[in-house]
Structure 1
């Protein structure tokens, strides 16, 4: 696949990302600010929170992790823009992963802001973040990994691998459910919600037609591709959902993409085409590996694929992600009649 490099909107922001630093708080344009909020012990390093000036304060897109460091960075960033945390009127959450949703509850406590989220993600909150329900989710994850062929000695470690980050979220039910196509009531903004499932079932992007801006969350990023995985809370075929959602945003008339990580960039359509091609290459690689075997489990397949680093160096949490992302590609191929699985205690995948 030919490499495609997007044009950054701000070269300093890109340089900070490449250099392993956190970029500066930035006035993107009149009425709009970019505030980097640090993510602890994570290669992404920060989430870009966007502050949109409204008549009586600001609305923010995403919030960051629920840590004191993140909260203080958000407060300081708002201060650079001339606002206090009490001036936040709305928190538009692109999706419920901790680096986007984690601080939303704390912001609401301090400001009285309303929290908006898509219903498909809101319905997952209790099982994911409520202490009384989490064991059921871990048990279902363990059963999925077992069917995928994960070795017994690592099943428990992988099934509970995300437990370490649950404290980064302040459990907060949304005040509003944001629907696909909904026009958000924010003074001075013509912001419209675009439902883009895949990375999470209820992922939202927000588009401003008049300013030709797309707040893309994790749906479209400048360099990396978001994880799209089968897991206990995912729909049956999340990769199909993701590819369809990419096709949807590709048709938007925008001049600049404002993602939640890395840096802002210009070429939405070209980047979408590249990401679609990337998944096509991955699907082809999976088909080649399966064709060269007499049948393979999802876990065995994942260990044979090309990753950004050697399999032996990938930590447990990311190995689980790699397995579940591989499963999403297998399910997509199965839905197209290109592979099939034989059911049993462990599922074995074969070429057609």
Structure 2
């Protein structure tokens, strides 16, 4: 049986499974409006996930055909994956921040071979060893979830009140996890009268027991040096100042005390940056730094794809340290090595 959890005042959540992923599921929110239900995220593009979403909507007393719109917190396939199928079944619009729409467009337009070559070059520049690069060089492009995501119909503008008749849902731009990640502030009294300002659909930005991945999302044709960790920390402080009564995240479970969780995450990243500076007493490539960082398991047990993600996160932290003037790249090093200053 599909679980549809009641959050009160016309808000429910559905657990839509993510196949072969330790996160287990995405929490898809169903928000009643005067023109029909609106979904916040949709879940992974998988037959089992689709069936779960359909059964869950039935349990909510509605159906896919009645969906009025889809608001996507960010472009990742466990959030945006089923958006196109929902639109085909209902005629619903899809809304997303323009920065993530740009990622979707690049993903759709670029050949998979180009992404593999770009990833291989980036990892080589980060100091990845040949045994990590060889499978990428030999890989044959194949159809994967997220490689042909639906193009949204509408842009979400930071600070705008979304077009949800009968509801007050305001977009809060929270870049970091992705360039166009948005949280959505339901500016209505909490149904259980918890202290604070409404409820916040937080996507992956603010989770009760996980620090979201902060990596690099870049256009291969754009040489701009981004600072995703700095963006994330600024976005956390913005959400902290909002002080919602309850957070409705895309994974795990709803929780109060958003301000406390923001403080925990800010402290976590400050501690991590301090620890990385200690490691950078000797010059290290981003790969070497990732090998020495603390993860949820020893480096030797981290699988190939997750190591690629870990190196991206190490580079995001390095960029933050460089921007703060606490680290620098050694001139002439290839692959680039960084050292504390």
- Partner of 1:29: helix, strand, or coil? coil
Q: CA RMSD in A?
A: 2.1
Q: Which has the higher contact order (CA 8 A, sep 6+)?
A: 1
- Partner of 1:73: helix, strand, or coil? helix
What residue in structure 1 maps to residue 311 of structure 2?
Answer: 323
Cα distance, 1:95 vs structure 2: 0.5
CA distance in 1, matches of 2:216, 2:230: 11
Q: Are 2:31 and 1:52 equivalent residues in the alignment?
A: yes
CA distance in 1, matches of 2:143, 2:30: 25
CA distance in 2, matches of 1:135, 1:178: 31
Q: How many residues align?
A: 328
Query: Are the equivalent residues in 2 in contact too, given 1:158–1:320 (CA < 8 A)?
Result: no
Q: Which residue of 241, 245, 252 maps to 1:255? A: 245
* Map 1:1-352 → 2, pairs under 5 A: 24-130=3-109, 132-157=110-135, 166-167=144-145, 171-211=149-189, 212-233=198-219, 236-291=226-281, 293=282, 295-342=283-330, 343-352=332-341
Query: Are the equivalent residues in 1 in contact too, given 2:168–2:186 (CA < 8 A)?
Result: yes
What residue in structure 1 maps to residue 194 of structure 2?
Answer: none
Cα distance, 1:252 vs structure 2: 0.8
Cα deviation 1:39-87 (Å, max 9, x = unaligned): 0000001000000011232000000011110111111111111001001
Cα distance, 1:128 vs structure 2: 2.0
Query: Are the equivalent residues in 1 in contact too, given 2:43–2:80 (CA < 8 A)?
Result: yes
Deviates more, 1:150-159 or 1:220-229: 150-159
CA distance in 2, matches of 1:160, 1:210: 53
Cα distance, 1:115 vs structure 2: 0.2
Structure 1: segments with no counterpart, 5+ residues:
1-21
CA distance in 1, matches of 2:289, 2:230: 20
- Partner of 1:216: helix, strand, or coil? strand
* TM-score, structure 1 normalization: 0.88
Query: Are the equivalent residues in 2 in contact too, given 1:141–1:231 (CA < 8 A)?
Result: no
What residue in structure 2 maps to residue 12 of structure 1?
Answer: none
Query: Are the equivalent residues in 2 in contact too, given 1:65–1:103 (CA < 8 A)?
Result: yes
CA distance in 2, matches of 1:137, 1:195: 27
Cα distance, 1:263 vs structure 2: 0.4
Change (3 A) 1:277 1:332: same
CA distance in 2, matches of 1:237, 1:253: 25
- Partner of 1:120: helix, strand, or coil? helix
- Partner of 2:94: helix, strand, or coil? strand
Query: Are the equivalent residues in 2 in contact too, given 1:257–1:264 (CA < 8 A)?
Result: yes
Cα deviation 1:279-335 (Å, max 9, x = unaligned): 0111111111111x2x11111111111111111111111111111101111110000
Cα deviation 1:132-182 (Å, max 9, x = unaligned): 533223222221111110002211436899x77833565211110111001
Change (3 A) 1:87 1:220: same
CA distance in 2, matches of 1:174, 1:312: 40
Deviates more, 1:228-237 or 1:296-305: 228-237
CA distance in 1, matches of 2:334, 2:143: 30
